[in-house]
Chains A and B, each alone.
Chain A
Amino acid sequence: MREFMDGAEAIVRGAFAAGCNFFAGYPITPATPILLRMLRELPKVNGVGIQGEDEIASIGMCIGAAMTGAKVLTATSGPGMSLYSENIGLAIMGEVPLVIVDVMRQGPATGGATTAAQGDIQFLRWITSGGFPMIVLCPSSLADCFKLTQVAFNLAERFRAPVILATDKEMVGAQQSVDTDTFEKIEIVNRTLAPADAEFVPYQIKKLADTPAFAPIGGPHLTRFTTSMHDERGLLTKKPSNVNKTSRHLAQKLEAHLAELEFAQLDAQPGAQTLIVAYGVTARAMIEAARNARAAGKRVSTLVVQALFPVPEKILCAALTGVARVIVPELNLGQYRLDVERLALALDVRPEVLGVNRVDGELIAPAEIEELIK
C-alpha cells in the first residue's frame, strides 16, 4: 500500500505502535508537526497530550507521567534540547523511561529554524552533566522512522533511561511516497514491574548492570524517584560506596549490554576500498552516490548508522577493517567523523578518513560524495 507522508507521520505511527500514551511538548519549528499530531491522536488511546508553557515544563510533565507508568514522548529541536538538558540528567539519575525526538535544525542557538542540519550529534551524546552514556538513534528512511521510534520506546523501557531519536528538518518535513507494507511492527517491550506481592525497594539491583524493577506511583507499592544521588531505597546519600555503586550502575546498565544497542546497516561490496559511513538525511544521498558509483564500475561499501550512541563499535570496526578510505558525509563540521577516526586509529591498517561537510543549509548531493569514491 503506497502512501504519501512525511517523517513526522511515520514517527507518530511508530509511537502509537509502541504504546505511547502521553506527550507533552512546546511548539518549535521543525518539530511542531509531531506535537500537533500527537495532541490530535492521543485522546483516541485514552492518553494525554498537552502543550507545556515551555520546554522545561513539557519534559517535566513527561517525566512525572512516566513515573505513573505512562509511555511518554516529547519532541523538540536544538534550542529545546538545550532546555531539556537538565531534565535528561534527572531521567538518567532517576531511571525514567522517556523518548525524546530531536528534529535538528541549524544552530547554534536559534540558528536557522527552517534549515536542515545535523549539528546536534555530539551535543546529544554529552547532553547531561556528570557524563553518562546516552542512547541516540537516527532514522534514515520513513520505514526507519516507524521502526526506530518503536525501538526507542523498547530501549527506554528495557533500560529505564531516556532515549533520543535524532532526526532533522529534512527527514521530518519532506514528504515521500512509501510502501507502508514495509513498515515493520516489532515486538513491544514494557518495563519490568516489581511483583505486587513481594517487598519492594525502589532502586534495588542484584548486579550493577541490571535495570531495577519499576513500581508506578499509584500502584501497589509505595515508591520513590529522585534526581539526587541515592542509595537503593532512593534516599539521599554521600556514602562513597553507595555513590560509587549508583554511578557505575548508571553507566554499566547500558555499557554491559552494547550488543542490544548496536543498530547499523552494512551494504558491503567485496573488494571495495572505499567505505561511506552516514546517518539520517545524508545517508540517503550516500545510497544514491553508491548506486551511481557502482553503475560506473566502481566498488564501494556503505554503512547506515541507525544507533549513533553508544557508537556501534563492533559493526563499525568490522566495516572499517580492510578498506583504504572512509568517507563520512555530515551536515556539520565533522562531528561523527571524530568517532570514526577514533576507531580507525586503533586498527592495524589505518584507513584514511575523509569528511564531506556542509553547514550552509543545503543538502549534501550524491555527486559531492561520489567524487571521493576511487
Chain B
Amino acid sequence: METIAWNTVTTYRNLERARLPFCPGCSHALVLDHLNAALVKLQLDPRKTVIVTDIGCVGMSDQFFDVNAFHGLHGRAITYASGIKLANPDLNVIVLIGDGGIGIGGAHLLNAARRNIGVTVLVFNNLNFGMTGGEHSVTTPHGGKTSTTRAGNLERPLDVCATVAVNGAAFVFRGTAFDKDLPDRIAEAIQTPGFALLDIWELCTAYYVPNNLFSRGALLETMQNLGLPAGILQKTDTLELAHTYRAQCASQVGEPTTPPDPIAVKFASALTQPTRIILAGAAGGKVKSTASALAIGAMMSELWATQRDDYPVSVMSGYSVSEVILSRAEIFYTGIEKPDFLAVLTPEGLSQVPRPLRAMDETQTVYVVPELAELIETRARKVVLNLARAPANKKSLAVMAAAAMVRHANLYPLAAFREAISAGQRADIAQENLQAVDASLLIV
C-alpha cells in the first residue's frame, strides 16, 4: 500500500455532507465539531480510524466524517467496536452513542469497562430520547419532565461515569458540549490505550429544553444538584485487552489446530451382530468415562462404536446414563430401544431405564447391584454383581460391570478394554479402574 501523508488533514468532516440534520440549537453538532477538532489535532490515519454509531439522532453522525463507519443496532455499538478492536488492535475505534443506547446497552458498557477494551465512547447525553419523541432515559434527572414522565421523573439518573470508573475504565471524563477544552479531552481519550468514556451533557432543543425550560446554565446546575462531578474523573494505565490477548497467545501461534487423534487397531473381535449396551448409574459414578473406554476398546478391536450420554441439567448430581453401540459396520442410528446388555448401578440409573427393562427378553442380560436386584422386573437374564467379594472397588461399579460384559459376551479382548482405560484416563484414575477390571472376575 502506498503511503499517503495524512499529516496534512485539515478536517475529517465530509465536505459534500457539510450540513448536519440536527435541530437548531441541538448540541450534537457542537460535539461533532469538537470530535473533528480532536481528530485534526491527533492527525489520525482515516483508514485506521472507525466511527461506530448507535441509534437515535447521534446514529446519523458517522455519515458526516471521512473515516471508516459502522452504524449498528440500538445499544450494541460497543459490542461491534469491541469486535473490531479485538480483530485489529491497531485501529482507533470511536463509539458515538446516546443516553438511550447507554440504557439499553448497559451490560455492554459495564463489560467493556471491566475488560478495559481499547475503544473510546462519546456519550451524547441530552437527558432524554430525542428521536422518538422526548421519552425519559436512564440519565433523565429526578423530577425531569418528559413525554413518559409528565409529572416529573421519579427515577434516579444513572451515574454513567462512576459506573464505568468503578468497573475499571482507563479514562473517564464528564463535561458539557459547551466546554472549551472538549477537543483536548476527546483527543486524550482516543490516545488512552484502554477503555475511555466521555459523558458529554447536551441540550435537546426539541424536547428536554422546552419541556423543562432547560438551558446551558441548567446543565452545570443539574450536575451540581445531583452531586455529579465534572472534569477528568479517572485516568489509569491498566493493560488494554486486545493487546494483552495477543501477547498471551503469542507463544501458541503456528501450533496445529485440532490434530487428529487416531485409534490404532491392535486387537480382533469375534463380534458378528450389532451389540447395544446401556450403563445406568449416577453422576460421579464414572458412567461416561467407562462408556468411552468401552467404545474405544471396541475401536482398538476393529469395531465401529457410538456413545450417547444422557444426564439432567445438573452436573454432579442426579442420574447418568450412557448408551454404547458396537458393530462390525458403520452405525447410523445411535439410540437404543432394546439393549443386549444393561447395567443398573444406582437407584438414579434405575429410574431412567423402565422402557429398556420392559423391552428386553431372555436373550439379553441385566447386570444389577444386589440392593436393586429385587426391584427389577424383566424377562432378561439377571446377573447380580456380588460386591461383597470386592468391597474396595465399589466406586468403580461401572468399570466392573463393563468389564464383566466385555468378558461374558466376548465383545472383544479384555486387554483392549484395559488399554482403552490406560490410554484415555489420568494415571491414578486408570490405576484404580484397572484394579476394578481385575475385581470384575470376582463379582460376576
B260 interfacial by beta-carbon distance below 8 Å: yes
Contacts A4-B263, A43-B253; A222 near B258 (Cβ below 8 A): no
For residue A322, CB closer than 8 A to chain B, the reply is no
> Is B256 part of the contact surface with A, judged by Cβ < 8 Å?
yes
User: Are the CB atoms of B70 and A177 closer together than 8 Å?
Assistant: no
**CB-based contact A284/B307 at 8 Å:** no
Contact partner of A9 (CB less than 8 A), chosen from B66, B68, B258, is B258
Contact of B86 with A by CB under 8 A:
yes
CB of B108 within 8 A of CB of A114, answer: no
Taking a contact as CB atoms closer than 8 A, the residue among A2, A63, A223 that contacts B263 in the complex is A2
Task: Report if A86-B258 is in contact (Cβ < 8 Å); known contacts: A218-B90, A224-B62.
Answer: no
Q: Are A227 and B72 in contact (CB under 8 A)?
A: yes
Which of these, B60, B73, B252, contacts A236 with CB under 8 Å? B60
- Contacts A44-B254, A56-B76, A220-B1 given; indicate if A3 touches B261 (C-beta within 8 A): yes
A228 within 8 A of B: yes
**Smallest CB-CB A-B distances: 6 pairs:** A64-B83, A60-B79, A43-B249, A61-B83, A64-B80, A65-B87
Residues of A within 8 A of B254 (CB): 44
Contact B69 A234 (CB under 8 A): yes
**Chain B, Cβ-Cβ closest to A216:** B88
- Which B residues from 260 to 276 make CB contacts under 8 A with A? 260-263, 265
- Give me the interface of A with B, judged by CB distance under 8 Å: 1-5, 9, 12-13, 16, 22, 24, 29, 37, 41-46, 48, 50, 52-54, 56-57, 59-70, 86-87, 90, 113-114, 170, 173-177, 180, 196, 217-228, 234-236, 281, 284-285, 287-288, 362-363, 365-367
* Most chain A Cβ neighbours within 10 Å, of B69, B258, B312: B258
Contacts of B307 in A (CB 8 A): 4, 174-176
Collect the chain A residues with CB atoms within 8 Å of residue B87's CB: 22, 48, 64-65, 68-70
* Nearest CB in chain B: distance from A130 CB, A: 13
Q: Do A114 and B299 touch (CB < 8 A)?
A: no
A60 to B69, CA, bound (A): 15
Docked CA distance A90–B86 (Å): 20
Contact between A218 and B48 (Cβ–Cβ < 8 Å)? yes
The secondary-structure label for the interface of chain A is: mixed
Residue of A nearest to B295 (CB): A4
How far apart are the CA atoms of A366 and B335 in the complex, in Å? 9
State the CA gap A196–B2 with chains docked (Å).
10
A9 surroundings in chain B (CB, below 8 A): 258
- A60 lies within 8 A of B66 (CB): no
Structural contact, A44 and B90, CB atoms closer than 8 A:
no
B1, A225: Cβ atoms closer than 8 Å: no
* Contact A48 B69, CB 8 Å, known A65-B84, A175-B292: no
- Grouping DSSP codes into helix (H, G, I), strand (E, B) and loop, the B interface class, with mixed when no group exceeds half, is mixed
Which partner residue on chain B sits nearest A221 by CB separation? B47
Could you say which residues of chain B place their CB within 8 Å of the CB of A5? 261
**A38 vs chain B, min Cβ distance (A):** 10
Partner of B258, one of A22, A41, A62, A176: A41
Residues of B within 8 A of A61 (CB): 79-80, 82-83, 86
Q: What residues of chain B have their CB less than 8 Å away from a CB belonging to chain A?
A: 1, 17, 46-48, 50, 52, 59-60, 62-63, 66-73, 76, 79-88, 90-91, 107-108, 110-111, 245, 248-249, 252-258, 260-263, 265, 292, 295-296, 298-299, 303-313, 331-335, 337
User: In the complex, which residue of chain B has the Cβ closest to the Cβ of A48?
Assistant: B86
Residues of B within 8 A of A363 (CB): 333-335
Tell me the minimal C-beta distance from A7 to chain B in angstroms.
Answer: 11
Q: Are B308's CB and A2's CB within 8 A?
A: no
Quote the shortest CB–CB distance from B246 to chain A (angstroms).
8
User: For the complex, what is the distance from the CA of A256 to the CA of B388, rounded to whole Å?
Assistant: 72
Considering the chains assembled together, what is the distance between the CA atoms of A160 and B305 in angstroms?
39
Of A86, A225, A287, which is in contact with the most chain B CB atoms at under 10 Å from its CB? A225
Instruction: Determine which residue in B63, B70, B254, B331 has the highest number of CB atoms from chain A within 10 A of its CB, and name it.
Output: B70
Q: Do B313 and A225 touch (CB < 8 A)?
A: no
Q: Check if B69 sits within 8 Å of A225, measured CB to CB.
A: yes
Q: Is the beta-carbon distance between A45 and B334 smaller than 8 angstroms? A: no
Residues of A contacting B67 with CB < 8 Å? Answer: 222
Contact A176 B334 (CB under 8 A): yes
C-alpha spacing A87/B80, complex, angstroms: 11
A residues near B296, Cβ cutoff 8 Å: 4
Contact A225 B107 (CB under 8 A): no
- In the assembled complex, which residues on chain A have CB atoms less than 8 Å from the CB atom of B260? 1, 3, 180
What are 12 A-B residue pairs whose CB atoms fall within 8 Å in the complex? A1-B262, A3-B262, A43-B252, A44-B256, A64-B79, A68-B91, A86-B73, A174-B309, A176-B306, A226-B69, A227-B72, A288-B333
A247-B210 Cα distance, complex, nearest whole Å: 39
Nearest residue (CB) in A for B310 is A114
A340 to B59, CA, bound (A): 44
- In the bound complex, residues from chain B placing their C-beta under 8 Å from that of A176 are 304-307, 331, 334
B299 and chain A: residue at smallest CB distance: A177
Q: How far is the CA of A75 from the CA of B332 in the complex (A)?
A: 25
Residue contact B71 to A226, C-beta cutoff 8 Å: yes
B47 touches which one: A37, A44, A222 (CB < 8 A)?
A222
Q: Given that A24-B83, A29-B313 are known contacts, is A217 also in contact with B332, CB under 8 Å in the complex?
A: no
Query: Which residue of B is nearest A171, CB measured?
Result: B334
Look across to chain B and name the residue whose beta carbon is closest to the beta carbon of A140. Answer: B332
